[in-house]
Amino acid sequence: MNAIHISGATLEYKTQNGGIVRALNNVSLDVNEGEFIALLGHNGSGKSTLAKILNGLLIPRLGEVEIFGVNTKDISKIFEIRSNIGMVFQNPDNQMIASIVEDDIAFGPENLGVPREEIIERVNWALEKVGMSSHKKSTPFKMSGGQKQRIAIAGILAIKPRIIVFDESTAMLDPQGRKEVLQVAKQLNKEENITIIWITHYMDESVDCDRVAIMNDARIIAIDTPENIFKQTELIKSSGLDLPLPLAIANDLKAQGIQIDGNILTEESLKEELCKILK
């Protein structure tokens, strides 16, 4: 069974001046449990709308969305769907509820009616998973953006979801915070087999995920391994995106006649390749 099954999802918004914007146009997507999918696309391409149909926050006008086989149209199962999918958004400040970290994280399971003993266990486990155990009694408000996002992730984890959607969760963070949050997402994917949908406009965050999906103009126009996606320079550029920087540098060097491997996606592989050439 797929973690996520979307077939032919089409959704429009009504605009204030009476117009209609199509945000999803016949979108289909299947995601296996345990996959780490990066979803890339320029502003307004439909990424957040896609995120919102996953937990039934929005229901597409046409098409179907199933989460572990449960259709989001089935109102009686919306509780099950919501507890299977966690969402981490852009602004960590909007995701804080309580003024003490442990209370903030306990909020989700409390609402689910989880017994007290188990809540304590979940809070400790979630804090450990995001590397914030020593901050249990702290107040989140004075923390760095990266730390706040990790607390927000712990709050989601405490609900024990099998899928987590990160909707540009690193967009407001400094480089250190971005690294921390991506690292946590990758670890949760590996260690807990949590399926990850990682929405971003930073190309470098997508280079070592399982598959990259490109959204453009309300459609998923390509989905493949990072290697196969970033080979398609024209497709990337016409979607309003950039190549990952190491690949762009490698391509420039190649254009200058330097013999360099054309599959370079990470800083490390660029460094290795340059060292080989310069020897």
Beta-carbon count within 10 A of 28 CB: 14
Of 27, 29, 41, 123, the one binding ligand ADP (CB under 6 A) is 41
CB of 167 to Mg ion, least distance (A): 6
Q: How far is the CB of 21 from ligand ADP (least distance, A)?
A: 5
Closest distance to ligand ADP from the beta carbon of 43 (Å): 5
Single residue of 49, 170, 189, 216 touching ligand ADP by CB under 6 A: 49
In sequence order, what are the residues at sequence separation of 6 or more whose Cβ sits closer than 8 angstroms to the Cβ of residue 12? 20, 21, 22, 23, 61
Q: Considering only residues 14-73, where is the footprint of Mg ion by CB under 5 A?
A: 47-48
Name the minimum Å distance from CB 168 to Mg ion.
Answer: 6
CA pair distance 277, 186, nearest whole angstrom: 32
Residue 47 interacting with ligand ADP (CB under 6 A): yes
Beta strands in 15-121 (DSSP E): 20-31, 36-41, 62-67, 70-71, 85-88
Total length of the chain: 279
3-state SS assignment for residue 134: helix
In degrees and rounded to multiples of 5, residue 66 shows phi and psi of -125, 135
Q: Shortest distance, CB of residue 26 to ligand ADP, whole angstroms?
A: 15
- Sequence-distant (≥ 6) Cβ neighbours of residue 237 within 8 angstroms: none
Tell me whether residue 40 or residue 151 sits nearer to Mg ion (CB atom). 40
Size of the site for ligand ADP (CB under 6 A): 12
- Stretches 15-23, 28-36, 135-143, 190-198: which one binds ligand ADP (CB under 6 A)? 15-23
Site for ligand ADP, rule CB under 6 A: 13, 15, 21, 23, 41, 43-49
